[in-house]
A = this chain, B = another copy of it.
Amino acid sequence: MSWTRHHVLSLADFSTAEYDIVLQTASSFQEVLSRRTKKVPTLQGQVVANLFFESSTRTRSSFELAAKRLSADTLNFAPGTSSLTKGETILDTAKTYLAMGTDMMVIRHKEAGVPQAIAAEMDRLGVKVGVLNAGDGQHEHPSQALLDLFTICSLLDSENPRLSLLEGKKIAIVGDILHSRVARSNIWSLTASGAEVHLAAPPTLLPKWFADYVKEPNDSSNVDRKLFIHWTLDPALQNADFVMTLRLQRERMTNHLLPSLREYHQQFGVTRDRLQQCRANVKVLHPGPVNRGVEISSDLMDDPQFSLISQQVTSGVAVRMALLYLMGGGKEVGGK
């Protein structure tokens, strides 16, 4: 099977084969990144535009570096100084970058659906420009979920990372599920893998429609289910293989969704002590940036025995190289 997807907008309809192609391609690029010259000529002469309507340093740098290591030229869009403040529509901005000769667009926007709308417009125009969703509102952030997946699968089998490695694993996702595009994308990929996914969050930080799911895992009606929701942390952690913590936006406090950061940490903060109830080799992930001592205790974050946070960042470049490469229709990886 080969890759046919022009855009990467959501993981909702990703097939197992597609996950595996991304994982294997990222694995090849990970190898390229271990060389002294961490660059391949794959996308030479092509242009990747980073249209970050919502500003970001971390994710934009990761995409920029991925593009440069594929030898693409990059254009960075700075929302503060842009035509948007001059009354131009978002679709017109995207079409301007298209007309300049952009080959791929990496798009982040604070409203859900913007990358999808731009991708639909590109298809309507019949142009071969790939659109990658780098985070749309509270909807999805597929490259983050794919790098999480690659981090975990590479740990389980560095030679041959693949989705099926997660079958039967227990994975906890802890924190602000309601507002997290990272959680939404992760739920798609992890449930697709055959893992048991356990969400743990205070009720105010869970989508309303999740209420139906709030049953204990040992509830007999759950036999075929792979997704479980908990209002406390411990049931999610018990025997977990991986614990994914989510960033807590500080502005949630002012919205009265949480009493205080300290109380949140007491109830949902992941610490070495609480990890005792997980499997012996449990690993902890976080998409960053971390509020130390809130989502995760500071000492745990720095402990290489448990923390995969820095591997996630490294995987990010390899996975984004893989996505740009596949969307660009590349044939060979690496040097090559």
Chain A residues within CB distance 8 Å of chain B: 33, 35-39, 44-47, 55-58, 61-62, 64-65, 68-69, 73, 75, 77-78, 80-83, 86-89, 92-93, 95-101, 247, 250, 288-292, 310-314, 316-317
CA separation between A292 and B88, bound complex, in Å? 8
B55 and A96 contact, CB distance less than 8 A = no
CB <8 Å contact, A314 and B99:
yes
- Establish whether residues B78 and A57, one from each chain, have CB atoms under 8 Å apart when the complex forms: yes
In the bound assembly, the distance between CA atoms of A314 and B81 in angstroms comes to 21
Residues of B within 8 A of A313 (CB): 96, 99-100
- Select one of B45, B55, B82, B311 contacting A57, CB under 8 A: B82
CB atoms of A317 and B101 under 8 A apart: yes
For A101, what are the chain B residues with a Cβ–Cβ distance below 8 Å? 33, 38, 65, 314, 317
This protein's copies in its complex: 3
B100 with A62: CB separation less than 8 A: yes
CA distance A254 to B85 in the complex (A): 17
| Most chain B beta-carbon neighbours within 10 Å: one of A47, A99, A247 | A99
On chain B, the residues within 8 Å of A89 by CB distance are 292
CB distance from A319 to the nearest CB of B (A): 12
Known contacts A96-B313, A99-B313, A313-B100, A47 near B65 by CB under 8 Å = yes
Q: List 21 A-B contacts (CB under 8 A).
A: A33-B101, A38-B45, A38-B46, A39-B73, A45-B69, A55-B81, A56-B81, A57-B78, A58-B82, A61-B75, A64-B75, A65-B75, A65-B101, A68-B73, A88-B288, A92-B288, A92-B289, A92-B290, A99-B313, A100-B313, A100-B316
State in angstroms the CA–CA spacing of A290 and B96 once bound together.
Answer: 11
Cβ contact within 8 Å between A100 and B55: no
Q: Which of A289, A311, A316 is the most central at the interface, judged by chain B CB atoms within 10 Å of its CB?
A: A289
B289–A88 contact, CB under 8 A?
yes
Q: How far is the CB of A259 from chain B (nearest CB, A)?
A: 18
